[in-house]
């Protein structure tokens, strides 16, 4: 009987050991689950901080860009203000003297100063008359029948175009030569 009782006890002990191991295993699993949950929460908080840091960074960059634009505009305005003063002096002088030549000379000098300021900022006029029409730099507003110029050559500049740092900021408005025909101008 002892043997049968002993062998009867063995399965009961094994069940108890398995339950104990299972209980210990589930405790380990719960501990692991809690650790993973804590790590996930920590990662989520890190993500939220990074998101807030990025939003703050974008705000700082936008503010810096705004200040840079204001500074650049201020510098340009300070360069242009003396030219405005020259225009005002030329107009006052012309009103007092009624001298057209003096007004013209004053305006020419003032225009030169303005162009010098623009060139110092990287603005360049686009060469047009006598050049081949280039749609990336010129806007054809008229076609003119002309036997003196080759086809597709600019014969008149109606409005000067400009580049800034090699980028067209305003195309030249031009008349372009076409060959033959009635000799009349056509608007495009």
What CATH code is carried by the domain that includes residue 137? 2.30.22.10
Which pLDDT does position 94 carry in this prediction? 83
User: Domain check: are 45 and 1 in the same one?
Assistant: yes
Bridge partner list, 175: 142, 156
Q: What is the pLDDT of residues 44-92, one digit of tens each?
A: 999 999 999 999 999 999 999 998 888 888 888 888 889 888 888 888 8
Higher model confidence: residue 60 or residue 149? 60
In 3D space, the residue among 140, 143, 183, 134 whose CA is nearest the CA of residue 163 turns out to be 134
User: Domain check: are 40 and 60 in the same one?
Assistant: yes
DSSP one-letter string for 128-165: -TTSBP-TTTEEEEEEEE-SSS-TTBEEEEEE--EEET
Are the CB atoms for 173 and 158 separated by under 8 Å?
Answer: yes
pTM across the whole model = 0.57
Of 78, 98, 121, the last residue of a domain is: 121
User: Domain check: are 7 and 79 in the same one?
Assistant: yes
Q: What span, in angstroms and rounded, lies between the C-alpha atoms of 59 and 51?
A: 12
H or E segment to which residue 169 belongs: strand 167-170
Are the CB atoms for 128 and 149 separated by under 8 Å?
Answer: no
User: Domain check: are 8 and 54 in the same one?
Assistant: yes
Which pLDDT does position 12 carry in this prediction? 57
Which pLDDT does position 153 carry in this prediction? 92
Q: What is the pLDDT of residues 109-147, one digit of tens each?
A: 899 999 999 998 899 999 999 999 999 999 999 998 888
Tokens at residue 58, please?
Answer: 């974008």
The structural domain count of the chain equals 2
User: Domain check: are 95 and 6 in the same one?
Assistant: yes
User: Domain check: are 110 and 162 in the same one?
Assistant: no
Per the structure, the complete domain to which residue 141 belongs is given by: 124-188
In 3D space, the residue among 116, 118, 138 whose CA is nearest the CA of residue 129 turns out to be 138
Which pLDDT does position 19 carry in this prediction? 60
User: Domain check: are 3 and 73 in the same one?
Assistant: yes
């Amino acid at each position: 009987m002892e043997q049968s009782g002993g062998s009867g006890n063995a399965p009961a002990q094994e069940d108890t050991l398995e339950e104990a191991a299972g209980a210990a295993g589930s405790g380990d699993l719960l501990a692991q689950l809690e650790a993973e949950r804590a790590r996930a929460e920590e990662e989520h908080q890190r993500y939220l901080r990074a998101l807030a840091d990025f939003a703050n960074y974008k705000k700082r960059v936008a503010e810096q860009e705004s200040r840079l634009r204001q500074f650049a505009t201020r510098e340009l305005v300070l360069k242009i203000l003396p030219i405005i003063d020259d225009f005002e002096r030329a107009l006052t002088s012309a009103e007092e003297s009624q001298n057209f030549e003096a007004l013209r000379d004053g305006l020419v000098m003032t225009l030169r100063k303005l162009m010098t300021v623009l060139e110092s900022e990287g603005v360049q006029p686009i060469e047009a008359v006598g050049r081949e029409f280039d749609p990336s730099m010129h806007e054809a507003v008229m076609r003119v029948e002309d036997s003196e110029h080759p086809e597709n050559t600019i014969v008149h500049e109606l409005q000067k175009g400009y580049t800034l740092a090699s980028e067209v900021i305003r195309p030249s408005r031009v008349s372009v030569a076409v060959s033959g025909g009635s000799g009349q101008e056509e608007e495009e």
